[in-house]
Structure 1
């Protein structure tokens, strides 16, 4: 029953975020020019585990689950409605209450509806949803790069690994602190390392603010002492 409730909440979240691009609740939101990455190395992005360093609290992951959070992505073998578009299995894991608390994990499926026009946008939801029939997206990689390039404030050179990423559930349509914007259904800062350098993460957070995101919505995830 608990798993069903989680999946139900995620289903409702998917529907809400798919409609987010047409609901504007902030005068300044979404920020001008806000978009997902147009140049995107899909295979590199899903090649290794991502750790959530900071994220927004949402209904399906409250603050008491901000421990040891990570996500893994793999190409899926079977998706009858995907029609040749990239399809991914998604595994999300967290612990409840502490770094030694109960593991809370869930499996999703994701599809990239428009790999040529929007390679860094995906539709993510429970496995029972026919995601391949939808062109709405609720997972946007809005920036990503290596630790070296973010510290140097330079674009990621082609062919270098992704080591950090900023994720939103579509366009941020709600106005928060200082006129910055956020998405009600989720924002994340990811890193390849759970113990990513604080200087690097501060630079990534600053980059998120430059994109127009309300970084006050992003709260730290505890990884010290985690066993994955």
Structure 2
């Protein structure tokens, strides 16, 4: 799989516009498999609500539990996020434990989700697009790359989303294992390079020794 990714045409950093990214698409994305087990973030961009000081034990659990959002009758997955401040097993970042809702808003591409607090309608939700997925032989997901919409900020090694605000921001490398293998990390970076997305803005998330105390894990 890595060789196939590396065989993709490399993005030309001299190009004036940021490349239009492609997501995995409905044919290769299963929301049921996505929510089957918790995810552990390996690397992520800085955001207003995700400073570097919160890059400890970052994890997410998604559930299909019949949640609804205003003015939408499509499929909704609840999102439970976890992170520590300042150190492994430190104070909780999201102590208020606000529940988010991921919505399958795109009728032609189910891998282009949108996320917002559950009380907000879709018009206020931010893009949450699945750029790539690593699949095991049995079809289960090993890793995934998620971006907060179309990249429009240029860096020397590619384009990415903004690092401020809430919507249209963010880039995350996911793994089913708390600590992903170097091979998995390499595949995710190769995917980003092939799509012309900057890797230089990513920061490592510390997962070694995390206990995820009180987290809704599965």
Normalising to structure 2: TM-score of the pair?
0.79
Would you tell me which structure has more helix in proportion to its own residues? 1
Q: How does 1:121-136 map to 2 (within 5 A)?
A: 121-131=112-122, 134=123
Aligned to 1:188: 172
- Whether contact under 8 Å (1:37, 1:142) holds in the other structure is yes
- Whether contact under 8 Å (1:169, 1:186) holds in the other structure is yes
1:96 aligns to 2:88 (yes or no): no
Matches of 2:142 and 2:131 in 1, distance apart? 14
Aligned to 1:58: 47
Structure 1: any 5+ residue segments left out of the alignment?
Answer: 1-25, 149-156
Aligned length: 187
**RMSD, aligned CA:** 2.0
Distance apart, 1:222 and its partner CA: 0.2
Matches of 2:170 and 2:118 in 1, distance apart? 19
Aligned to 1:118: 109
Matches of 1:127 and 1:66 in 2, distance apart? 24
1:164 aligns to 2:143 (yes or no): yes
Change (3 A) 1:80 1:202: closer
Matches of 2:16 and 2:171 in 1, distance apart? 20
Distance apart, 1:60 and its partner CA: 0.3
Distance apart, 1:83 and its partner CA: 4.1
Normalising to structure 1: TM-score of the pair?
0.76
1:35-60 deviations in Å (ceiling 9; x for gaps): 22212111111111010001001100
Q: How does 1:1-228 map to 2 (within 5 A)?
A: 27-29=16-18, 31-32=19-20, 34-38=21-25, 39=27, 40-79=29-68, 81=70, 83-105=72-94, 106=97, 107-114=99-106, 116-131=107-122, 134=123, 137-146=126-135, 160-178=139-157, 180-184=158-162, 185-228=169-212
Distance apart, 1:142 and its partner CA: 0.9
SS at match of 1:70: strand
Matches of 1:80 and 1:123 in 2, distance apart? 12
Distance apart, 1:84 and its partner CA: 3.1
